[in-house]
Amino acid sequence: MTTDYAAIYDHQITTNPSYALAEHSPGFKAVLEHAHRLTRITGRSLDVGCGSGFVVELLRTVPFELDAQGVDVSPESAAVAAKRNGADRIKVSDGRSLPYDDDRFDLVTSFDVLEHLDEADVPAFCDELRRVTRPGGLVMCSVALREASALDQHGDNVHRTVRPFDWWVPFVQPDEAHWVRNPAQAICWHTKRAT
């Protein structure tokens, strides 16, 4: 049975008020914390699992000024992100097959999305992040290494895959990782090599 991620996150965006606040966005915090590194990137960016669109909005502004776009599995989230950023910047996709050409983006981000997937969906999702990144481009993602405080509409924890960081390494293929103790998560960087 395939998990209906869209239904889960449509429910979350409409029932969990923290999804509407930038200060509760792990990606928003990570971009600000690592701004010194991200301001060196120019061109196009894509935030996969963009939620309410806070990262897309932030990356479009000074000091980043990227041509930022976002994609989310939840039509409800995508609608909120589109109001914030413009409908032409936001798409709906499940992440198994991103609606973009190969090698399109200079920066691809995905914050606290991986742990929300079933284990079986993790490899293809990570492959898609790399596929749409141009050679020399950067993938920046974070993965929570703990259960979430939120439950889905079925009573299941929204963090579906909770594993130690070593489990994630073959999928994320980080060149570098930064450990965050509280809350327990890893922020990873992967530079796509030319093939």
Predicted local confidence at residue 178, as pLDDT? 86
Written as six digits, the tokens of 28 are: 């928003």
d(CA 142, CA 144): 7
CATH of domain 5-191: 3.40.50.150
d(CA 71, CA 75): 10
Predicted local confidence at residue 16, as pLDDT? 85
Predicted local confidence at residue 1, as pLDDT? 42
Taking the chain (195 residues) in consecutive chunks of 10 residues, what is each chunk's mean pLDDT?
Answer: 85 87 90 96 97 97 98 97 97 90 98 95 96 98 92 91 95 92 87 87
Predicted local confidence at residue 133, as pLDDT? 98
Predicted local confidence at residue 150, as pLDDT? 86
Q: Spell out the domain ranges in the chain.
A: 5-191
d(CA 107, CA 65): 12
Predicted local confidence at residue 33, as pLDDT? 93
Predicted local confidence at residue 194, as pLDDT? 82
138 phi-psi bin (left φ>0, alpha ψ -120 to 50, beta other):
beta
Helix axes 5-15, 75-85, angle to 10 degrees: 60
